Structure 1
Amino acid sequence: MSDKKVLAVFDFDGTITKRDTLPVFIRFAVTLTHLLTGSLFMVPFVLLFKLKVIPNYKAKERLFKTFFAGLSIDKFDNLSRDFVANIEQIVNPVALEKVRWHQQMGHEVIIISASVENWISPWANKYGIKTVLATGLQLKNDTITGNFLSKNCHGPEKVNRLLEKYPERDKYVLYAYGDSNGDKELLALADHAFYRSF
């Protein structure tokens, strides 16, 4: 039996939750008028993304800027805490059961996500998950600029972020759970990889 530390890494959107939390958070956080005007503004950027003219992270950053640039971080964090109840409604109970199993086994549970850390962390804290490696927000005078502080935590960046925090890969056993193309590099790194399964 191995005495190595065990890490259990979960993607968030579509793995722990049943759907992407970004559009759910936008609908929760902004007024209907802002939602409609912002959605119209986003149409050309969505088309450019679909046509592969701009990458995923650029389209996502533009979406975030459209709805949240200029908002104080205090207000955003308050919204994020209030959003926990909405996350609860879309959590996959099978995923949550697996999170709890790992915790009962004494494994360290980690969330790695392309979503914004601010609305994942309050939910994660509720379940005793201390480490959330996700997309960070750039601030200026405690106000959201709309730009991301870190690279969009997607694809190879998930591996980069994990190895930055846990660099000695030979010192731990890695379980990884994901549901999309953005998780393939993380799953390839794992000793035990679970794609759309638990």
Structure 2
Amino acid sequence: MKKLYCFDFDGTLTYSDTMFLYLKFYNPSKFRIQFIKHIPLFILLKLNLLEAEKVKKSFIYSILKGEKKEKIEKKSQLFFDQYYPEIFRGNALDFIKNIDYSQTDCYIVTASLDIWVKPFVEKFKMNLLATQAEFKDDIFTGNFVGNNCNGVEKVNRIKAEITDKKYDKIIAFGDTFGDQPMLAWADEGQFKFFH
């Protein structure tokens, strides 16, 4: 029986969102300054007066724009070394350890940026569908390639990836409103399964 597992990352497999954790790890002093500057945007976001994608893009841009790809990749590996496995839910790690990869294809489908999620995905031997960081001449532009991988975009990315594959069962795991389209699309949607 061939299965497909689609896992959201932040909050589903981890205890919390990794964006703030990573950006703080990357440059603590710049993070503090930009966090304070972004407080008005965070408030508007909480009041549903701004789109999450715009705030996210602005915050990431303010800290990582102009950074070299090589430096970002090194920092992402150091981030992994420091935070794996402690930021992960124990039962999520147990579940992953018991996956039979000969019968199961696994994807982490996340709105987080590919740059810092990649080392974790490689550790799990899974595939990654994420919001993609845009680089020009190996310098991060601060922009994303394509759409933020959230909501309906998660389903679009999965469908584009598995066009020529057949599965007996598709199971999706998520924990927020942004995962609902993926959970509804799958044969089986597991909400807060590891909580």
**TM-score (normalised: structure 2):** 0.92
Please list every run of 5 or more consecutive structure 2 residues that lacks an aligned counterpart in the other structure: none
Matched letter for residue 60 of structure 1: K
4+ residue runs over 4 A deviation: 168-172
Between 1:72-81 and 1:139-148, the stretch displaced more is 139-148
1:111 equivalent in structure 2: 108
1:25-57 deviations in Å (ceiling 9; x for gaps):
01111132x122111221222233223332111
Q: 2:150 matched to 1:128?
A: no
Among residues 42, 55, 58, which one is paired with 1:59 in the alignment? Answer: 55
For residues 150 and 88 of structure 1, do their structure 2 counterparts lie closer, same or farther at Cα, with a shift above 3 Å needed? farther
For residues 63 and 87 of structure 1, do their structure 2 counterparts lie closer, same or farther at Cα, with a shift above 3 Å needed? farther
- After superposition, the CA RMSD in angstroms is 1.7
Task: State how far apart, in whole Å, the 2-side matches of 1:87 and 1:112 are.
Answer: 19
Task: State how far apart, in whole Å, the 2-side matches of 1:66 and 1:35 are.
Answer: 9
Among residues 156, 181, 187, which one is paired with 2:183 in the alignment? Answer: 187
SS in 1 for 2:10: helix
Task: State how far apart, in whole Å, the 2-side matches of 1:132 and 1:149 are.
Answer: 15
Task: State how far apart, in whole Å, the 2-side matches of 1:172 and 1:162 are.
Answer: 16
Superposed displacement of residue 104, structure 1: 5.5
Determine what percentage of the aligned residue pairs are the same residue: 30
| Count of aligned pairs | 193
Q: Is the 8 A contact 1:49 1:59 kept in 2?
A: yes
Matched letter for residue 144 of structure 2: F
Q: Is the 8 A contact 1:155 1:186 kept in 2?
A: yes
Q: Is the 8 A contact 2:172 2:186 kept in 1?
A: yes
Q: Is the 8 A contact 1:61 1:146 kept in 2?
A: yes
